[in-house]
Amino acid sequence: MSLFLKALRGEPLERFPVWLMRQAGRYMPQYRELRKRAKDFLDFCSNVELAVEVTLLPEKVLGIDALILFSDILVPLKPLGVEVKFSPFEGPLLKAPPLDEWKEFDPKGVGFVFETVRRVKRRSNLPLIGFSGAPFTLGAYILEGKTSKDFKEIRKLFYSDRKRFHLLMEKLSRMVVEYLSAQIEAGADAVQLFDSWAYVMSPEMFKEYTPHLKFIADGLKARFDVPLIYFFRGSGFLYKEAFKLPFDAFSIDWSLPIEVALKELSGRAVQGNLDPTVLYAPDEVIKNEAIKLLQKVAKDRKTLYVFNLGHGLAPDMELNKVKLLVDTVKNFSL
């Protein structure tokens, strides 16, 4: 079994595995080269040949321990009837019909995603992580119609029409279960739910939202024995409610001390925690910060940890520094 799956399943490790969110992205010259071959970003994601090549890039370039499907969390919204565009200047732009007019999700509408999964599995022996946006983060983009710093629209809906808020979460949760099921059936070895905007919620709002996350975890657990990872930003104030959920692993940001996560998640896997802006520092600092984190984890456990950042790599990061980080983790033996 791969190091990554061993870590998630609690088996003994010789070292901690490492992969990085947005590991195939614009900071990588090889990504920028491939990106030129597509008209726009969604075209890039839906072109199976290109998506396979991009997914595989980090294995060759960085030597990481797991691949993540190259796509975007907004891709499966189209089959629901939501229009999605990516503007090079404004980021994603979305337009949704009224909730009652949404279509039931049909995975065939994004068949290229599963074909990408199947082909990546044929080309690499590394474990492949499938993913989906979590209902709150998807709903936040849909209601806002674009990106935002605080996603007020979905919070307004929560307070002004609680029934519709839950209806929106239910529709998205059903889509997430079907979408992730199809990725697992195509060969994904683990799946991660991205709740990047969880932190705009109050703890009370988050608590009222968690049954939708439980619906997703239970729905997948009933059908598959594949590790489920929940990534949420805002770990520092939301972790108590989050950790009650039946996920196998939690990917945390840097707002939660690693010691607290390790203690609260005894017997379950922790992923992440390093602040990505460490990568703008001199090499020695990058090494020291990574080793400091690894030592804290190793003091508590020798498995059930996957090295990652608290959020994704940014386009202006240097490839050599990212490589140094990966090598530092790989050289840290247990």
- Which residues contact ligand CP3 by CB under 6 A? 21-26, 35, 41, 68, 70, 72-74, 91-92, 131, 147, 194, 196, 312
Is there a catalytic annotation at residue 150?
A: no
Q: In whole angstroms, what is the distance from residue 285 CA to residue 117 CA?
A: 36
Is there a catalytic annotation at residue 26?
A: yes
Is there a catalytic annotation at residue 122?
A: no
Q: How far is the CB of 49 from ligand CP3 (least distance, A)?
A: 16
Q: How many CB atoms are located within 10 Å of the residue 261 CB?
A: 22
Q: How far is the CB of 304 from ligand CP3 (least distance, A)?
A: 22
59 versus 72: smaller Cβ distance to ligand CP3: 72
Q: How far is the CB of 31 from ligand CP3 (least distance, A)?
A: 7
Is there a catalytic annotation at residue 9?
A: no
Q: How far is the CB of 61 from ligand CP3 (least distance, A)?
A: 12
DSSP one-letter code for 104: P
138 versus 262: smaller Cβ distance to ligand CP3: 138
The torsion region of residue 106 among left (phi > 0), alpha (psi -120 to 50) and beta comes to: beta
Structure tokens at 320: 């050599």
40 versus 104: smaller Cβ distance to ligand CP3: 40
Q: In whole angstroms, what is the distance from residue 36 CA to residue 44 CA?
A: 9
Q: How many CB atoms are located within 10 Å of the residue 33 CB?
A: 11
196 versus 301: smaller Cβ distance to ligand CP3: 196
Q: How far is the CB of 333 from ligand CP3 (least distance, A)?
A: 27
Contact 114, 107 (CB under 8 A): yes
Active-site residue (options: 65, 72, 248, 253)? 72
70 versus 179: smaller Cβ distance to ligand CP3: 70
Active-site residue (options: 141, 199, 209, 239)? 141
Structure tokens at 266: 């005894």
Active-site residue (options: 22, 119, 174, 233)? 22
Active-site residue (options: 9, 26, 118, 155)? 26
Residue, CB closest to ligand CP3: 196
Q: Is 307 helix (H, G, I), strand (E, B) or coil?
A: strand
Is there a catalytic annotation at residue 72?
A: yes
Query: Contacts for 163-171 with beta carbons within 8 Å, 24 or more apart?
Result: 164/99, 166/212, 167/99, 168/99, 168/135, 168/139, 168/142, 168/143, 169/135, 169/136, 169/139, 169/209, 169/212, 170/212, 170/215, 171/80, 171/99, 171/102
**Which residues belong to the active site?**
22, 26, 35, 72, 141
